[in-house]
A and B are shown apart, each in its own frame.
Chain A
Amino acid sequence: MGEVITGNGKILRAYGLEVSGCSLPAEQVGGDFFEFISCDERTVFAVIGDVMGKGFHAARLMETIRHMLRECIRINPHPLEVVRRLNRVGWDELRKCGAFATLCLLCYDGIAGRLSCVNAGHHPPLLLSDGKVKVARCRGVALGLLEDYLGSGVEEFFLADGDAVVLYTDGLVEACGPGEQRYGQERLKEIVRLQNGADADRMKQNILSDLETFTRGFSQKDDVTLVVMKVTGKAGERGGN
């Protein structure tokens, strides 16, 4: 397996994608994470997740899950098998802590333009294509809640140049303004729709600006993690960062 690109505020340009992501912690260190994991010359995994709880404990559990995730991808990179195996190997660790983790795993084949999505209790990604926003339908039970992963399977999409995918954690849609109204998926869909034509980093910045306008500085209870992936060509047409 090649490079593993992770961390906060990174921009990745590879596999015919431009990706921008960030994680904004709330008052305490939380369990949100996102990661891009190279599989081969044409395939990359983009993963977003949230481990139950707050503080050091959740952060440590998150690191364990990330390590297991990379191992699961290395053993068998089929997206559904990755999540099934991760649930199986993470079961003991999560049950020991009485915890669970939500995760949305995307596998992008940059030559075919095929995006495969498997979900384990996470908010489904939004897809922006030709100015229209679609919500992925894939659903599944969060990791650590049942011994065998139970979900709707793999959902596939074919992406063209200019299409974008938005991944986010619940801290974004559950963010509240002073009136205790939530930001919500409908507002997120609308701001994503308005980003047609913008690059991935600009999209991310504009969504976060809209969130800031909505919350008006009101302190939030949960971390906000946001990842935007935009198709810019076919894999191999552009180099890595």
Chain B
Amino acid sequence: MEIRVRQKEGMAILEVEGELDFSNVEQLQQEIQRRTEEVVEIDLQGLRFIDSSGVGMLLSQVRHLYKQGRTLRIVRIPDFIREDLDVIGFFQVLEALKTNPNA
């Protein structure tokens, strides 16, 4: 997995490429936690594979940033990964967190 970091008007954009799984999930988690910007955007356009450890980490970081009054935004999800996330209920959880960050 490769992570490229870009900054734009108080926002950090992390472009993730390759495979995100249990073997490297901490690398992305540490990069998210290192950011101090109000909005952190995870760009998944270059992602080829994500396992359940990656999904769990992303959701826990969304929750973590919401609790701090910040936002973790996940964008440009490839269609085949979007389908997998949809099965798990990922987007329903994001909606629930928007209305109640403690959910």
Contacts and interface: CB of A to CB of B under 8 A. Distances in A.
B56 to A, nearest CB: 5
A99 B56 contact: yes
Contacts of A180: 48
A77 interface: no
Nearest to A149: B89
Interface in A93-118: 98-100, 102
Interface in B59-99: 59-60, 80, 84, 87-89, 92-93, 96
A146 B55 CA distance: 14
Interface in A112-128: 120-123
Contact of B87 (A53, A123, A146, A182): A123
Given A147-B103, A174-B84, A182-B80, A98 B60 contact: yes
A163 interface: no
Given A102-B88, A122-B87, A141 B93 contact: yes
A50 B52 contact: yes
Contacts of B53: 52-54
B21 A121 contact: no
Size range of the chain A interface in the assembly: 20 to 34
A153 interface: no
Count class of interface residues, chain B: 20 to 34
A174 B96 CA distance: 27
Interface in A144-172: 145-147, 150-151, 170
A137 interface: no
A221 B21 contact: yes
A139 B92 CA distance: 11
A36 B84 CA distance: 26
Interface string A14-40: 000000000000000001000000000
Nearest to A98: B60
Given A150-B89, A150-B96, A170-B84, A145 B52 contact: no
Nearest to A51: B52
Contacts of B59: 100, 145
- Residue of A52, A182, A221 ringed by the most chain B CB atoms within 10 A: A52
A177 interface: no
Contact of B89 (A52, A53, A140): A140
B96 A146 contact: yes
Contacts of A221: 21, 49, 51
Nearest to A94: B56
A170 B21 CA distance: 14
A154 B20 CA distance: 33
A87 B38 CA distance: 32
10 contacts: A52-B56, A53-B22, A55-B22, A100-B88, A142-B89, A145-B88, A151-B89, A170-B84, A174-B84, A221-B49
Q: Which 9 A-B pairs have the closest CB atoms?
A: A141-B89, A52-B52, A121-B88, A121-B89, A145-B93, A142-B88, A54-B22, A52-B56, A141-B92
